[in-house]
Chain A
Amino acid sequence: MTLFHKYYSRKLQFAADVLAALHGAGKKGLPEKTLQKLALRYGIQNPLCADLLKLLADADLLIWDQRSRAYYEEDNYIPPLPLSAAEKSYLQQILRLPQAELFLPPALAERLRTSAVPAWDEEIIQSLDAAGQPGNPKLTQPEFCLLLEAITRGCGISYRYCARSSKEAREGRAIPWRLEYSAYDNRWWIILYVPEEGRCVKAWLSNLSEIRLEFQITAPEKEILAARRKALAPEPVVLRVKPGETPQRTQNAMERCFLVLERQEFESTQLNPDGGATVRFRYYRYEENELLRQLLYLGPNIQVLAPHSLRTALLDLVNQALEQFKEL
């Protein structure tokens, strides 16, 4: 099968959503605006949305009530579309991953598993991962789910943690904001907001234990985002992608630059008259060492124009490296 398939067309998928939503709404029905909002998730705007709803009503698949300007479920209800073959196969594939043990209780994973559906064959796809992947963080599945629950609800947690300076575990109370995961080498961090200090901290997830929900600790999202912004370096990084010998080489260098720096907060990108490009982005100060390594990874075709502090730090590293690589 192909993924760009007519049965994945937004028309069919939206129609299936509408029928499911009308079933969920029961006798209350759903106002026109709610369905229009649903349609926007597929990029379907009026008049296409209105045309589609009329089509379904004309085919007696749903009922339109002019007086209440709402849609209702027909008696001959069609259950939602089941999982397609590609979705089933994908589900079986992810149930084999070690991370499934973190997210899913064993009984649920077992119920979802089936040998009838083939997962993607490792004989066909070779994934060249980083060599030294650590395992899952040392949290139990219920503890991990508590963290996700706290992030979803926006409430705080209390926990015990080990600081670098001391082996003795300490008590902590904070609001978990996001879990950060490095897809390349399977590392986990947690970004916590400490309301008493008004700042965000990033910690190894493995350093946390004895996690408990604390519903009384809350903070508005705006306050957390403001604390995050405070951690940004004051000046944006300005990079120049040097034009290569051929347009293809320049494009490769640009692509690599964007992929390596993908998570940075990009502000602008511009192609230059000489065929190169200028890129501006913001970075978090506590990630400067990693950024410097990424710049070395990218090579001298990506030049740091600003800020001065980053240029100086990079020059120090380059000088240190030249000592190691100098000719004898």
Chain B
Amino acid sequence: MSINPNSVKQYQMIRRYLSLIYLYGFFSREDFQDLLPESAASYDACISLIKDIYPEMHEGRYADSRKYLAVNRKDQQGDLDRLSNTFFLCSLADEELVNVLELLEEANCAPRNKNELANLFDERQSKSTVRRRLDELIDFGYLRQEKKKVAPTENRLRTLSEEELGQLCRYVRFCGNVTFPRVPARFLLRSIEREYLRRGTELPRRQLFQFLHSPDHDVMEEDLIFTLARAIREKRQVTVRMGGRYDPEPRTVMPFRLRVDRRLGRWYLLSMEAQPTIRRLSRLKSVELGAPMDAAVWTALREEVDACFRYSRFSGQIPENGPETVRVKLHFGEKSGLRNQFAREMRGGSIEQTPEGEIFVDTLNDPVELIPLLRSYSPWLEPEDRDSVLAERIRNDLLEYREFLTEEAEP
């Protein structure tokens, strides 16, 4: 039987499970217990909810008879993953559902003020409840305040022709995979689908796209992202709680920016704690809005955080002697396509033309951040300073590779 998570806490548990299923694809109960030991007891309850969203989720068995769960990440017919569908799991009481629909029905008849609307429901709902609900609906965007009257919000989708609706639908499907945040794209697509239903036609479902570098796993963090974005916009402090047993105490932080790594789809928070800090969002369990800050203090602290991380991508390291410049010679030779690909994958820095050839130059607080990129092109690069820590780290990695690859592969 279907149930609804009745609290954000329960929902957070589900999203942790789903993140793991999404990331690792196939996992047994024992594997979950290894990764999330503190939550093993609720495994069955969470899985029953997850099966609501992924009814085709199937169980298989490993050779050693352990069961595993598997999920198709992408909607087979729609090139959209369904992690965002978990946001629909939020609960709503039956009574409130009917009241909301009736309120929308009345508000759509003609613009009326809140008191007039509240009087219509006098018998079943208190006036204060109706007023509060109207405020919520206005805040949510389903209704709008027009002077003193409450009026329906214009639905632009209704003004589009069939062809225009199709064009918008394709664009939203595309953007839902390549932009951040992503969950609103999935909500928007639902609204477009509903417009198709209203017209008695069907949303075209054929898959159009395949995406590279389009990870979706942080979709589960987007509720936190919305709260943090609001805190930054309103210049407020937040209280954050970290996941895991090592850091259970809540702490107050001043958030200033969100940074997204488009390659891996990871989100980071730039904030001021005891010192300027960069933190992976997936490490946060919850965020609560706190008190507003003095605007002048806020601006000064934000400038300090910005200055600290001007030469950082996602590393929180703040070097005592300032940022370091990395210079690497490029030897792509005739592989011009590969050279162009390297130029596309750089996140920063530049390629300088010198009499000796092209040189990639980048300045970073923590040059170690460049290691994955430089290692992936290492056959065609040459560090100017071979004694640098960066060159030594890449060399050690390559030696480790070679040692393993020259051994006999295990059966």
Q: A residues touching B (Cβ–Cβ < 8 Å)?
A: 1-13, 15-17, 19-21, 23-26, 40, 42-45, 47-48, 51, 55-56, 59, 61, 76, 78-91, 93-94, 97, 99-100, 103-105, 108, 111-112, 120-121, 123-134, 145, 148, 151-152, 154, 178-185, 187, 191, 251, 254-256, 258-260, 262-263, 266, 268-271, 277, 293-294, 296-300, 303-306, 308, 311, 314-315, 317-322, 324-328
User: Is B126 interfacial (CB 8 A cutoff)?
Assistant: no
Q: Whose C-beta in chain B lies nearest to the C-beta of A303?
A: B404
CB–CB A184/B263 < 8 A: yes
Known: A90-B184, A104-B168. A269 touches B52 (CB 8 A): no
User: Is B45 interfacial (CB 8 A cutoff)?
Assistant: no
Q: Which of B30, B141, B178 sits near A82, CB closer than 8 Å?
A: B141
Q: How far is the CA of A55 from the CA of B93 in the complex (A)?
A: 11
Q: How far is the CA of A163 from the CA of B69 in the complex (A)?
A: 45
CB–CB A128/B259 < 8 A: yes
Q: Which of A104, A131, A304 sits near B171, CB closer than 8 Å?
A: A104
Q: Which of A178, A183, A322 sits near B402, CB closer than 8 Å?
A: A322
CB–CB B377/A293 < 8 A: yes
B contact residues, total (Cβ < 8 Å) = 149
CB–CB B344/A130 < 8 A: yes
Q: How far is the CA of A121 from the CA of B258 in the complex (A)?
A: 11
How distant is A88 from chain B, measured CB to nearest CB, in Å? 6
What are 29 contact pairs spanning A and B, CB under 8 A?
A: A4-B11, A9-B4, A20-B195, A24-B201, A25-B200, A43-B52, A43-B53, A78-B104, A82-B191, A83-B191, A94-B175, A94-B185, A97-B179, A103-B170, A108-B168, A112-B168, A178-B209, A180-B210, A181-B178, A183-B262, A184-B345, A191-B210, A255-B23, A259-B23, A263-B212, A300-B404, A322-B399, A324-B378, A325-B382
Q: Which of A104, A123, A296, A305 sits near B409, CB closer than 8 Å?
A: A305
A residues less than 8 Å from B377 (CB atoms): 293, 296
How distant is B387 from chain A, measured CB to nearest CB, in Å? 8
CB–CB A87/B191 < 8 A: yes
Q: Whose C-beta in chain A lies nearest to the C-beta of B232?
A: A124
A residues less than 8 Å from B212 (CB atoms): 180-184, 263
Q: Which of B87, B98, B346 sits near A8, CB closer than 8 Å?
A: B87
CB–CB A15/B97 < 8 A: yes
B residues less than 8 Å from A326 (CB atoms): 386, 395
Q: How far is the CA of A121 from the CA of B257 in the complex (A)?
A: 10
User: Which of the listed residues A300, A304, A319 has the most CB atoms from chain B within 10 Å of its own CB?
Assistant: A300
CB–CB A43/B188 < 8 A: no
Q: Which of B1-25 contact A (CB under 8 A)?
A: 1-2, 4, 8, 11, 23-25
CB–CB B398/A128 < 8 A: no
How distant is B385 from chain A, measured CB to nearest CB, in Å? 10
CB–CB B167/A103 < 8 A: yes
Q: Which of B102, B181, B313, B379 sits near A321, CB closer than 8 Å?
A: B379
Q: Which of A1, A4, A321 sits near B378, CB closer than 8 Å?
A: A321
CB–CB A26/B108 < 8 A: no
User: Which of the listed residues B25, B101, B226, B331 has the most CB atoms from chain A within 10 Å of its own CB?
Assistant: B101
B residues less than 8 Å from A78 (CB atoms): 101, 104-105, 108
CB–CB B141/A88 < 8 A: yes
CB–CB A6/B96 < 8 A: yes
Q: Whose C-beta in chain B lies nearest to the C-beta of A178?
A: B210
Q: How far is the CA of A321 from the CA of B183 in the complex (A)?
A: 42
CB–CB A179/B208 < 8 A: yes
CB–CB B181/A120 < 8 A: yes
A residues less than 8 Å from B90 (CB atoms): 4-6, 8-9
How distant is A328 from chain B, measured CB to nearest CB, in Å? 6
CB–CB A3/B55 < 8 A: no
Q: How far is the CA of A152 from the CA of B173 in the complex (A)?
A: 13
CB–CB B194/A20 < 8 A: yes
Q: Which of A25, A148, A306, A314 sits near B401, CB closer than 8 Å?
A: A314
A residues less than 8 Å from B87 (CB atoms): 3-4, 8
A residues less than 8 Å from B154 (CB atoms): 82
B residues less than 8 Å from A277 (CB atoms): 24
Q: How far is the CA of A59 from the CA of B121 in the complex (A)?
A: 13
CB–CB A1/B140 < 8 A: yes
The stretch that binds A, out of B213-221, B290-298, B318-326, is B213-221
User: Is B139 interfacial (CB 8 A cutoff)?
Assistant: yes
CB–CB B97/A55 < 8 A: yes
Q: Which of B101, B210, B223 sits near A2, CB closer than 8 Å?
A: B223
